[in-house]
Amino acid sequence: MGRSSKDKRDIYYRLAKEEGWRARSAFKLLQLDHEFNLFTGVNRAVDLCAAPGSWSQVLSRKLRFIFFFMHIVAVDLQAMAPLPGVTQIQGDITKVTTAQEIIRHFEGQPADLVVCDGAPDVTGLHDVDEYIQAQLLLAALNITTHVLKSGGTFVAKIFRGKDVTLLYSQLKIFFSSVTCAKPRSSRNSSIEAFVVCQNYSPPEGYVPNMSNPLLDHSYDVDFNQLEGPNRVIVPFLACGDLSAFDSDRTYPLQLDADKQYQYTPPTQPPICPPYQEACKLRKNNLLSREDTPSVCPTQSQDEPEPPVEKNTKRKRTMSSVAVERFNF
C-alpha cells in the first residue's frame, strides 16, 4: 500500500497536510466555528487534551486576527511541538493544580472559551468506549467549572450512545444552551459528535470541587434511562457546508485538472508517541521476529522435550462419526 493511499481514502487528512494543519480534526473546529461563531469576543481560550495540537493551532491562527493580546493555554499529558501564542501545560485535567496553573497564566482572569477534543483509545466495545468517553467529558466539564467565566462557551467531543441523555442533563445544569453538532468533516459512520454549550451559568452557590465526580460510578441502567419530564432532548445540528467534501467518500488524487497531485508529508509528527518503540521494531523488521525459541523457565535447554502423543484415534473416531451421519 503506497503512502498516498490514505490521501485517496481520507480527503480531510490530505487537505490538513496541504493547508498545514497538524491533524484533520482542525476542520471540525473550523466548521463548528462557522456555525456557532465560537471565536467572537474570545480573548482567553483553553484547549484540553490538546496533543497533537490541531485545535490549538486553529485557535492560534484565528484569534491572532481578532485580538493582538490573546492568551491560549493547551493542556495535555503528552508533550507537543510549540505553537506561536500558545502556552503549554503538561498536566492532568483531573487535578486542581492544573486549573490553578491555567488561571495563573491568565493572570487571575477566567477563560472565555474552553474546548476539548480528547477521546480514549477505542476498544471496539461500544458500551465501554461510550462510558470512558463520558467520564472524560465530565472530567473536562469539571475543570471547566474552575476556569470558565460566566457566559462562556464549552465545546467537547461526545459519543452518542444510549446514556447520552444523562450527559445532556448534566450539561444543562451549567449551561443555558446545549446543542449536539455533527461537523461535515466527522465521518457519518462514527458515533462521534460535539456538544456546544453556551452561556455558562452555574447554579447559585455552586463551588467547583475536583474530588466529587459529576457522574455516579454506580452505572445503574434504570437510573440512566431518563424518561418523561426527566428526559433532556437537545437540538442536533449538522454543521459545515453541505456541498463540501464527504468524509466517508474516496476521492481521486487528481482533484484539480489544472494542478498536478504531489504527496505532502504530515505537518508535525507526534512527539514521543506510545507506539514509537513498536514503529522502530517494525521498520527494522524486528516486530515479530524470534531469534531464539522460547524455553519454559522450569525446563532446561539440554533436556529433550517430551514426545507429543497424537490423538489419531480420536481423529479417526470423529471422521467415522461424520461418515456415519452423512450416510444416515
Catalytic residues, which ones? 157
Please report which helix (H) or strand (E) contains residue 93, including its range. Answer: none
Q: Which three cell numbers stand for residue 214?
A: 459529576
Q: Which three cell numbers stand for residue 128?
A: 465501554
3-state SS class at 277: helix
Per the omega criterion (within 30 degrees of 0), is the bond before 52 cis? Answer: yes
Ligand-binding annotation for 33, yes or no, is no
CA 290 to chain centre: 35
Amino acid at 186: S
Ligand-binding annotation for 76, yes or no, is yes
CA-nearest of 102, 199, 99, 192 to 154 is 199
Q: Name 180's bridge partners.
A: 195, 236
Ligand-binding annotation for 92, yes or no, is yes
Q: Name 196's bridge partners.
A: 155, 179
3-state SS class at 114: strand
175-183 and 236-239 as β-strands: parallel, antiparallel, unpaired?
parallel
Binding residues for S-adenosyl-L-methionine: 53, 55, 76, 92, 117
